[in-house]
Structure 1
Amino acid sequence: MSRPRILVINPNSNTTVTKGLEDALKPLNFADGPEIACTTLAEGPYGIESQADVDSVAMPLRRLIESDNSASAFVIACYSDPGLHVCREGTDRPVFGIAECGVLTAMTRAETFGVIAIAQRSIRRHIRYLRQMGLMDRLAGERPLNMSVAETASGEGTLAKMIEVGRALKEEDGAGAIVMGCAGMARLRRGLEDALQIPVIDPTQAATAMALGTVQLSRN
């Protein structure tokens, strides 16, 4: 049998974010397990930072998934879970959204969680999604970095700012775990967890781990 493949899709066109995802997912890429491949949605915006950006990639994501005949599962690597439901509608293979998976993982690690957003205007969109999922009672708070996706993926001062915001979520808001609210933050998970001394969830790792388990179990 050929090795199964999990396709992790970065819906923005910033290849630095995709490279960060590849690095963050290396611990899950076992030699005898499913291949984890990361790709960039070329027609996506450079950063998904508004509802218009979210909506603009839904159908391109679906077309990409429908045209891929080799993947056993897909991960949409953007914290707004763009196109998640329309993509699930277009395939019988599992599609995982990183926000949904990241939050569910955080709730297995702590009673309450906080979210670090890239910008203030992202928070309203995230809160609406959490309300739809019925999870507002587990949210301690969400605070912004007020940076762009590109800055979080490559900026030198990103970790220091994330530690500052994460500490406020922990000490002032009472968060028992932190969810990083942007795929571009993936490379900083370990450093942030070491600084805060509470669980820090990279949602792309969480979603890919769920996809890996699903694909592996389907083989046995």
Structure 2
Amino acid sequence: MVNPNSNDAVTRGIDAALEPLRFAEGPEIACMTLAEGPFGVETQEDVESVTLPLARLVRERNDAAAFIIACYSDPGIHVCREATDRPVFGIAECGVLTALSRGERFGVLAIKDRSIPRHIRYLRQMGLMDRLAGERALGLSVAETASGTSTLDRMTEVGTELRDKDGANAIVMGCAGMAAHRKALEERLGVPVIDPTQAAVSMAIGTVALA
């Protein structure tokens, strides 16, 4: 699991969220930070800046059975898949596909308004616009989603709008920095809430186990 931003607090949050997926005799789940990445992947420029560093990392790490890109924009996913014969998962792709199995229409919690057009382009490429109920922004940075004291309250507010105003019956958290809040948010909203890092690791474990 590679966090392509350089914020170690985000990586620690992801690592903690994956604890339920660690079990005896199961594969090791290792989380790492891309040191040369921006502090938060929040713009298209940030996305493009980590593509080649991620590909180099994947190319060099032949000891891993699978790779996961822990950023909701799935930066570099196609070039990383070219760089290795091991499976490469993007958390956005995995999160959305998991949401489709939990509800008819899904909503996405974005960090900022400027993230939404980028996410919409990706969903359009995946051919999933008909299943999208809506996407709304928290107005927070990546760092704030990971450590902000009022983050859960803001996520609850926006998630409620996705559920009640947009008709979403499953919610995808659109940033790896939100990982620590999944369970509490699901309890507050009463609908399935998908942490895309957990979704991606679940898919990776299944793939590796059946290889």
Write the letter of the residue equivalent to 1:102: G
Match of 2:17 in 1: 24
Match of 2:118 in 1: 125
Identity %: 70
TM-score normalised by structure 2 residue count? 1.00
Residue 168 (str. 1) matches residue 161 (str. 2): yes
SS in 2 for 1:120: coil
Match of 2:55 in 1: 62
Residue 209 (str. 1) matches residue 209 (str. 2): no
Residue 137 (str. 1) matches residue 137 (str. 2): no
Query: What does 1:84-163 correspond to in 2, within 5 Å?
Result: 84-163=77-156
Write the letter of the residue equivalent to 1:217: L
Write the letter of the residue equivalent to 2:90: G
Query: Relative to structure 2, which stretch is displaced further, 24-33 or 154-163?
Result: 24-33
Cα separation, 1, equivalents of 2:209 and 2:22: 12
Count of equivalent residues: 211
Write the letter of the residue equivalent to 1:92: D
Cα separation, 1, equivalents of 2:115 and 2:127: 19
Task: Provide, for residues 165-185 of structure 1, a one-character-per-residue CA deviation record: whole Å limited to 9, x for no partner.
Answer: 000000000001000000000
Match of 1:179 in 2: 172
Give, in angstroms, the shift of residue 119 of structure 1.
0.1
Cα separation, 2, equivalents of 1:24 and 1:75: 15
Cα separation, 2, equivalents of 1:34 and 1:113: 30
Cα separation, 2, equivalents of 1:66 and 1:31: 29
Match of 2:31 in 1: 38
Cα separation, 1, equivalents of 2:149 and 2:45: 28
Task: Provide, for residues 153-204 of structure 1, a one-character-per-residue CA deviation record: whole Å limited to 9, x for no partner.
Answer: 0000000000000000000000010000000000000010000000000000
Write the letter of the residue equivalent to 1:82: P
Cα separation, 2, equivalents of 1:128 and 1:93: 26
Cα separation, 2, equivalents of 1:87 and 1:75: 10
Task: Provide, for residues 55-112 of structure 1, a one-character-per-residue CA deviation record: whole Å limited to 9, x for no partner.
Answer: 0000000000111121000000000000000000110000000000000000000000
Write the letter of the residue equivalent to 2:106: F
Please list every run of at least 4 consecutive aligned residues from structure 1 whose deviation after the TM superposition is greater than 3 angstroms. none
Cα separation, 2, equivalents of 1:216 and 1:141: 35
TM-score normalised by structure 1 residue count? 0.95
Query: Which consecutive residues of structure 1, in runs of 5 or more, have no partner in the other structure?
Result: 1-7
Cα separation, 2, equivalents of 1:30 and 1:96: 21
